[in-house]
Amino acid sequence: MNAIGLAVALIGGAYLLGSVPVGLLVGRMLRGVDPRQQGSGRTGATNVLRSVGVGGAAAVLLLDIAKGIAAVLLASSVFAAAGSAGAPWVAAAAGVAAIIGHIRSIFIGFGGGRGVATAAGGLLAMTPWSLLILAPVLVIIIWRTRYVSLGSISAALLAPVVAAALALTGEGSAASVAYALAAGALVTWSHADNIERLRTGTERRLGEKAAAGGHG
């Protein structure tokens, strides 16, 4: 297989990996519930927290992060082992594909989560210091406001700025900046409904009970 064919295969495989509906699988295994039928209708950790509980949400969070890490590292190692140049860029593209798969999973009718955890996993693999800087921002915003969506959107918008600053210091690369930019755009786009509710003051805070339509 030539380099282009290998890159396409790796990116396609990353999309399929990202598409694995971890939240749905965990919900059914632990409680026999479908998180898509409750809360926001999403399969991410926040909605699983509402429908399954803390243990299930923690499992989903870790596994969704692992999807992003695996997509980036597998693509990088396989492409580099084939002796092809451009492994960081293929890895970045694979990470983005995994996020798309998480948000629009082919296995569940192109539904899914918001992509935050999978994007974070990819960022951890591409440029670890970026995530170490962004994670406290996310936690502090959620802690102060109890809006998971606001913390996620803020971290997504800051990601390319942080990645670019680190790249200038030699702690990152152009590929990691491109990944952070694409990942941030996808995560922000997936929160379009949350942004509207934040604007109108109707967004659900963490721990609140509400009808379908919140953050996932």
User: 106-132 pLDDT, tens per residue?
Assistant: 999 999 999 999 999 999 999 999 999
> Does residue 105 register a pLDDT over 90?
yes
> Does residue 216 register a pLDDT over 60?
no
> Does residue 145 register a pLDDT over 50?
yes
Q: Enter the pTM of the model.
A: 0.93
Give the pLDDT of residue 209: 58
Q: From the CA atom positions of the chain, what is the Rg in Å?
A: 17
% of the chain at pLDDT higher than 90? 88
- Give the mean pLDDT of 12-37: 95
User: 149-185 pLDDT, tens per residue?
Assistant: 999 999 999 999 999 999 999 999 999 999 999 999 9
> Does residue 76 register a pLDDT over 90?
yes
> Average pLDDT over the chain, rounded to whole?
93
Give the pLDDT of residue 40: 84
